[in-house]
């Protein structure tokens, strides 16, 4: 089964450089296949180049999709990571 959730990028620098690196590190903790959809692009959430290539800026809506044993947890925790924890990194 595929789990997905739409989230809004909250941190000032979007999913670029350091935030992308932190996100990929977090996504890599999960066994599931995790994808990010943004503006007709779909990339592996565990790929730093993929995540950075999205160009998702602050206020962008992205969709997290996961398939695998820990997919529900992956989607929920990564959504929280994007909406809350990356914002804390900005401060």
Annotated catalytic residue, options 4, 13, 16, 63: 16
Q: Is 53 tagged catalytic?
A: no
Mapped onto helix, strand or coil, the DSSP state of residue 48 is: helix
d(CA 75, CA 12): 22
Distances (CA, A) of 13 to 32, 55, 72: 27, 10, 27
The alpha carbon of 79 is separated from its chain's Cα centroid by a whole number of angstroms, namely: 7
Active-site residues, by number, are 16
């Amino acid at each position: 089964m595929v789990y997905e959730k739409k989230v809004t990028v909250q941190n000032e620098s979007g999913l670029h450089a350091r935030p992308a690196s932190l996100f990929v590190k977090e996504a890599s903790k999960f066994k599931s296949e995790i994808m990010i959809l943004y503006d007709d692009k779909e990339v592996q959430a565990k790929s730093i180049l993929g995540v950075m290539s999205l160009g998702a800026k602050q206020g962008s809506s992205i969709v997290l999709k996961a398939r695998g044993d820990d997919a529900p947890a992956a989607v929920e925790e990564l959504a929280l990571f994007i909406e809350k924890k990356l914002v804390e990194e900005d401060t």
